Structure formats: C-alpha cells, structure tokens
C-alpha cells in the first residue's frame, strides 16, 4: 500500500513538472514572438499574432473572442508567420521537444491498450509545417524541464 501511495504522489509530481515545462516552452515562444512582432505591429496586433502562431505550432485551440476573430480573419498572416519559423532552429527544437515529451507522457499514462489516434497529431502537424528541428534526440523530461525554464527566462530579457 505504501508503494502505491508513494508512486501515486511521485507520478502526480512528475506530471506537474511536465506541465510546468510545457508552460515554460509555450510562454517562452509567445514572449519571443511577441517581442519580434512588436517591431512590425502595434502591441495589440503583435500579441494576437504571437498568440495565434504559438497556438498553431503547439496545436493549441485559440480561445477568447478577439483571438478567435483574429485567427479567422488573419489566416494568411498567421500562415506566413508560421512559415517564417522554418529557419528558427531554437523555436523548432523547443516546440518539438515539448510536444514529443507530452506525447510520451500521455502514452505511458494510458491504462488500457487502446491507442489514442489523436496523440501524434501535433507532431505530424509540425512535420507538415516543416518545423521539425535538425536535432530530434528528445531529452529526458528532467533535462527538458531545465531547458524549457532556461528558454522561458531568456524570453523575458
């Protein structure tokens, strides 16, 4: 019984660390893109574009009335902005690592033998967008956590 309780709490802590690392990666990408887009657009448009591009590369659903309106009316700008990331190895790598680790964690956490057909879609989308990094050796989650935190902190400067 004690082993079960210990593994349960360690498992929850592990999932929380992975979630935190994902948030570091997502917010780090947003911050970096926002700063870049502020050189071309006013802060509101830069924020909406950075959010739309970040959502697109991390396969997140756009939320909020303004965000959805922007996503629906500025699809060409969003696609062009995503396409420009093909030459950005740093953002490609952090995105790929985050999605690959998330996929691994979800796959390992599944209790039944039923495979989730949507599990690999975010990685397939990165491939379709030509956003796979040259280095696809996914680090261990603990190493990724450190990498994502460093990436996020760098985006704040």
What is the C-alpha separation between 13 and 19, in angstroms, rounded?
10
- 25 and 94 in contact (C-beta within 8 Å)? yes
Of the chain, the percentage scoring pLDDT greater than 70 comes to 86
What is the C-alpha separation between 122 and 57, in angstroms, rounded?
8
Q: Given a cut of 80, is residue 148 above it in pLDDT?
A: yes
- 6 and 14 in contact (C-beta within 8 Å)? no
pLDDT at 5: 35
Burial 66-78 (b: 16+ CB within 10 A, else e): ebeebbeebeebb
Reported as a single tens digit per residue, the pLDDT across 44-53 is: 999 999 999 9
What is the C-alpha separation between 33 and 37, in angstroms, rounded?
6
What is the C-alpha separation between 15 and 109, in angstroms, rounded?
10
Q: Which of 48-57, 97-106, 148-157 has the lowest mean pLDDT?
A: 97-106
What is the C-alpha separation between 97 and 103, in angstroms, rounded?
10
Q: What pTM did the predictor assign?
A: 0.86
Site of tokens 């994902």: 22
Which of 74, 79, 93, 87 lies closest to 29, judged by CA?
A: 93
């Amino acid at each position: 019984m004690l082993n079960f309780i210990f593994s349960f709490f360690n498992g929850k802590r592990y999932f929380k660390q992975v979630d935190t690392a994902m948030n570091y990666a997502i917010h780090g990408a947003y911050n970096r893109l926002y700063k870049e887009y502020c050189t071309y657009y006013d802060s509101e448009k830069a924020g909406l574009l950075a959010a739309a591009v970040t959502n697109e590369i991390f396969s997140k659903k756009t939320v909020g009335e303004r965000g959805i309106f922007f996503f629906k009316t500025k699809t060409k700008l969003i696609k062009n902005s995503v396409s420009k990331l093909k030459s950005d190895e740093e953002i490609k790598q952090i995105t790929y690592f985050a999605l690959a680790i998330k996929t691994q964690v979800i796959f390992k956490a599944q209790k039944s033998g039923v495979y989730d057909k949507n599990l690999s879609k975010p990685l397939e989308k990165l491939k379709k967008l030509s956003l796979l990094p040259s280095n696809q050796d996914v680090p261990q989650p603990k190493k990724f956590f450190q990498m994502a935190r460093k990436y996020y902190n760098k985006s704040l400067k």
